Amino acid sequence: MKNNKKGASLLNYIIRQENSNDLQGIREVNIKAFENGENEARLVDLVRNSEHFIPGLSLVAEKEDGEIIGHILFSTIHLVTISGTLPTLGLAPMAVKPGYQMEGIGSELVIAGLKACKALGFKHVFVLGHPNFYPKFGFSPSKTFCIQSPFPVPDEVFMAIELQKGGLSGLQGKIVYPQAFSVVS
């Protein structure tokens, strides 16, 4: 059980793998957390129903009363290099319900998610995200590793982390996301 200060009381929640009872709660978190929340919720649904979904890498933050207040998803994406295509992971989306943001829940989801990715033997993770948030977990601009973003974005917002030291050493290429990401963008 995680305890975070929220006003005068403590917010108690756990982080765990999603289960089939969480789908509506996950959808609600994503809809409420993002300006284009319907697209983010649809992305989660599309990934969940694809070969890119990894059940152990969809995590929720759940309050004691069963309310889902946060969600993070890691799924298979690809790194295309001169030598061939390698599977890797993309972190998207990560969402916390308004009213629970800025309480450390998102950070706890990232930490737990990266730990789960590493435990499953993955060597690296990529994210398109806020350059003031993700570096505190070890993410660096992907160009540092000679990996190009699939999107025309500033270098500092497309990042990578090596879960295994040297996991990206000697690799050069470009990330390719599955079709689900194109459908909702």
Give the pLDDT confidence of 66-124 residue by residue, as tens digits.
999 999 999 999 999 999 999 999 999 999 999 999 999 999 999 999 999 999 999 99
Beta-strand relationship, 2-6 and 9-17: antiparallel
Q: For residue 147, give the nearest of 57, 92, 78 by alpha carbon.
A: 78
Number of Cβ within 10 Å of residue 16's Cβ equals 12
Q: For the residues 50-56, what does the mean pLDDT come to? A: 95
The answer on pLDDT for 5 being more than 60 is no
Percent of the chain with pLDDT over 90: 91
CA-closest candidate to residue 45, choices 63, 67, 23: 23
CA 2, CA 58: separation in Å to the nearest integer? 18
Element (H, E) at 61: strand 53-63
Residue 32: alpha-carbon gap to chain centroid: 17
The amino acid at 139: F
Q: Provide mean pLDDT across the span 148-157.
A: 96
Q: pLDDT at position 3, please?
A: 53
Which residue type is seen at 92?
Answer: A
Percent of the chain with pLDDT over 70: 95
Residues 1-26, mean pLDDT to the nearest whole number: 78
3-state SS assignment for residue 168 = coil
pLDDT level of residue 179 (50, 70, 90 thresholds)? very high
Task: Give the mean model confidence (pLDDT) for residues 152-166.
Answer: 97
